[in-house]
A and B are shown apart, each in its own frame.
Chain A
């Protein structure tokens, strides 16, 4: 793999802030999202969902619904072939197709309120909605288990009888799908050496990704056997793979066309509506669109894991951490696959810990199967670790930044899982926080406090595909197999334009369907600008190489004598031999195509931090965010405006986790806040302007040094806010979200 950097003097687009390629279509309302797809003769699909959190399905009677006028077909799990009991990595999480099948349409049991049981297609959305009520499902209701710790010990409320704990020899039915265990050094010795030890337990609620666009797919199963699906997905190819597995149908006959995606944040990797839409289209021979309601999105998809985390850390009076231990219990929801693995990797990642132990548990509960959510598992882990770090520092009367600096991980630090850190820039980030005017200005009033926290995320690399076609007028078409979630069409084109040494306006950049280009992994793990950018650069070099061949034969000189600089080809053999990119393009057949297929296996993570000022109203318990600064290592900011946007958006999601967001359940497992009034997201009024500070410590896997930027900024806001609340009130919150009632409870408790 060619890891050489593109020389800095070639940058024309990279590092600037050009207008986004998709911006005009989006501001005028012309861009087509998954929910906007319409086809002639299209039917409307709706999904029947379980009212129970845990029940056996005794029978499903669809006859009445089927005979209703305007209803064309009803499908259940019986319409699906058996799926392979096979796990595969899709995006950052792993999917078992047998479980995915049951999550798409329940077969023997329903495992959460909102679990899909049947789907139907009708002439209008209203008919479809009304027909759902005519499907009769008989349930045998079972006891649900909702609490992660209860679920770990129960022998009665078992979700999957056949499940055994991965990583354990115990041969009993259990709700613990996996136990991860890492040890470094000698933790008990480390704790013996400590002068102070802090041990705390933290609880975080499940939080939904809350993309504004609901899940949507429109499927057409043609008479020729070809299935075409318009899908709002993070990855056209991973969607094709899942549909192919669940329908046991050849990938070549399934074309997934990615639409514009109205937000995803990790939650649009698993399929939910694509398979029901396809089945319904098969049965009706008409296009079928399935669009979820907001309630369905909250009940039936996502969320990020709710957790219970214990952290114990010890340090010397001098400030050196001697040992750290964590027990992470992560809710997987109805099927295995919580992000406890990445959470375990992230929890102490920013620190150099000589002795450590991590135990992570992937635990089933009667809630929706979790999906990846922006730095999956890490915000919960940081909420725990960064508060204990703060407490340790103050217990030895040391400044929090100085304490973190003294223990910061750096290149070569061995992590508790045995892996070595690449360049991570934690010390640089701490240095910037320490020097930042925000960190140094005085606090303005009573009940105000300032908190900081840092976080580190590993990111992802994986496979990307880009083709570049050279047109005879000197423009190029760049197509990519990666779905553009928030601007990667532009950032990828910028990287290609600079290698081709042509203005960005000459590059038309598009995302294409699965028939049109070779495989690309899903747009997740902050990877697209970095890895698909690398593919674009390779495709551009391939173009230049091919153009050199063309020009060498045109001029009848050896290819080694050809130079390409500033958009001009020249040769040192003979005179008058130079030609611009555009002139050469005009002399070509129009058949020069550059390919870039990469598999980036060597990637680095990104560190970041948050400084936040809060004010707490002691009467109402309301927390107001007064000021917020976010710092992040972007490696190289390809488009600084987009990087800032990722950082600001990530921080505000982190503020949502901290203050407002979380599923609320009654004891039967019914969600009490399945709408956007009761599940509150941060509004413009709830947050201040967010000052984004980008630092650039390049990483060589991307030719420009770009790192992933999308995920890191969500990690540190919640602990930073908790640390600020502690400064403002003298109480520490160990539970997310930090709602006014919890604040009041804490004040009450401490004043006793």
Chain B
């Protein structure tokens, strides 16, 4: 039996539901020696900002049980260099590319998106990292406020007809209501989750291991958090959900899909082996075959909750 792994999000078709997450696969060109990116469903780029960013002072990362904490500080090449150096080579990635954008005001996001629209970048859409402080709102993160998220989404929707995905933060009181605000403002999909606040302290020096004290936790440690977020969001919105957080295997991906995700992204697991995500595709096909599932979409939201 052959299974159909293709998925569609708002009319855009993808080879399969295994994507790679922002910040864990560079701009899509760096891993060519270690994996075949053309097999992936899509590649999400590192967050791109209006200006290049040097990032936070070191140390920026530390391993924690089944995870890691990072405080990279959105180090990236900036939209200009992205357009000059990556966009011309985008064919080499061999699959759909979704450009992730970060900003510190609505204008910042608009600037980056307008530049990419103007150069007719051959990307299939945008993922918007809203876990960024808004300097125009007392540095409150866009992600924590439904109104701010809604306004940002609405502004971006006016600029693009391409896929518009809003990436949600788990560090909020009600992630589903933020997702709903994005949906109502015209987002095509939401992705969840970004990293979870995390801290780890060296008990000898009494200093936190990352320079910013608190950082973002990722990896298998956050998987149950991500799954619960996807489940809650799926009860509240109708647009597709992209599941992210701690995925290392096809089984992990299926968990997310059962909770309500249409596709998933693999993040931290790429660091151990850039081929992790690609190797999950065959595994997923096997799972579907063994369980007599012809179409992946049959699985989405298929969890049987306890009474």
Partners in one complex: no
